[in-house]
Amino acid sequence: MRIVTVIGARPQFIKASMLSSHLSTKGIEETLIHTGQHFDRNMSDIFFSELGLQAPQILLDINGDTNTRQTARVMMALEGQLRQNRPSAILVYGDTNATLAGAMVGAQLNIPVIHVEAGLRSYDRRMPEEINRVLTDNLSSLLFCPTQTAVKNLEREGIQEGVHDVGDIMYDAVLHFAGLAKEESTILERLQFEEKKYILATVHRNFNTDDPARLKAILRAFKQCEETIVFPMHPRTKKMIAQFELNDYLQSRNMVLTEPLGYLDMIRLQAGAKVIVTDSGGVQKEAYFNGVPSVILRENTEWVELVELGWGKLVSNDSESIVKAIQSAQAGESKENPYGKGNTGISITDHIHAYLSNL
């Protein structure tokens, strides 16, 4: 049994680390192809070393470019690889260009596609990620949903076969690495932070970074906050702040800027934060897993349970609303975790094993 896994971006390295180890214990051989979307030390290498993920066997080195061109280039490169060395299935994670490219090439070559994090919908087609999700789900044979909401979303689109609610693999990761992060990360000491006395912010979605008015409103809100804000800057965000000449907003007494952080530092910072402000899919959930309220810098979210339970609050793009939301953020309901029990990696592995055994 051999599968090819296609990954290319930071959150995919984290998700893959939670599944790869289980696959090998079940005798499923995995070839890891890294598309190269995130390629430098901070965005890629550190995750492989910290999370114990095997180095990719194949590195495609495809980054930059428009979404269409990046997807097409990955497709062309993948087609060559998969024709040469045909696996039993191709596995993709989430909603990036690598996800869609993997699914398209798999489907064209009649290789079954396995989608981890299937069924999520923001119902906002302005997001390139939403387009990638819808198309990938339509091309997949095995669809691993993180929530019941995701299962229902697929049902509404007529997709029922091969669908499994297995919980969220990122919850596995937080449970697995929280203890290690507490032991090994020195980020709070390095920044001289006290628990619950700072806010953690991340921003990288294109609708926030590529719109100067919106980006400015977010940075203005950060500047207006009384609390210290630690802001690990995504390379795209850093580039756009410079391009729109918004650097002055970063020169504020309460702003602590860092490079993108490794996962252990990030989990440690999340656990100690008073509030987390983010447009990241992964980070808004990790806030909840860590019992920290979040302010979500978006009009909608595919992780609707966070808003329903009151842990996440969606905010529009004016500075005043953002500041108000940060100041009034509080814990939500403590009902049963809608993202499963933290055994998603094992559950997915069992399903894949059963599926491949029957091919």
Q: Could you say whether residue 7 binds ligand UDP (CB under 6 A)? A: no
Half-sphere exposure of 299 (CA within 13 A, CB side): 10
Query: Should residue 339 be labelled a site residue for ligand UDP when binding is judged by CB under 6 A?
Result: no
Choose one: 6-14, 58-66, 299-307, 343-351; the region binding ligand UDP (CB under 6 A).
Answer: 6-14
Q: Which of 5, 6, 7, 11 binds ligand UDP (CB under 6 A)?
A: 11
* Strand 275-278 versus strand 198-202 pairing type: parallel
Task: Please report, for residues 25, 58, 79, the alpha-carbon distance to residue 283 in angstroms, rounded to integers and kept in the order given.
Answer: 29, 28, 33
Angle between helices 263-272 and 169-184 (to 10 degrees): 90
| Positions in 237-266 near ligand UDP (CB under 6 A) | 260-261, 263, 266
C-alpha span between 115 and 113 (Å, rounded): 6
Which residue, 115 or 204, is less far from ligand UDP as judged by CB? 204
Residue 204 designated active-site: yes
Distance CA 281, CA 162 (A): 24
Q: Are 272 and 188 in contact (CB under 8 A)?
A: yes
Contacts of ligand UDP in 221-240 (CB under 6 A): 232
Separation of alpha carbons 161 and 154, rounded Å: 10
Smallest gap from residue 271 Cβ to ligand UDP (A): 11
The position carrying tokens 């108000």 is: 324
Catalytic residue, chosen from 204, 234, 351, 353, is 204
Residue 144 or 263 with smaller CB distance to ligand UDP: 263
| CA–CA separation, 176 and 188 (whole Å) | 20
Please, what is the minimum distance in Å from the beta carbon of residue 282 to ligand UDP? 3
- Near ligand UDP by CB under 6 A, which window of 7-15, 221-229, 240-248, 293-301? 7-15
How many whole angstroms separate alpha carbon 43 and alpha carbon 63?
Answer: 12
Gyration radius of the chain over CA positions: 20
Q: Which CB, 87 or 260, lies closer to ligand UDP?
A: 260
**103: its two tokens:** 């699914």
Closest approach, Cβ 261 to ligand UDP, in A, equals: 4
345: contact with ligand UDP by CB under 6 A = no
User: Toward ligand UDP, which CB reaches closer, 280 or 317?
Assistant: 280
Point out the residues that are catalytic. Answer: 204
Footprint of ligand UDP (CB under 6 A):
10-11, 14, 202, 204, 232, 260-261, 263, 266, 280-283, 286
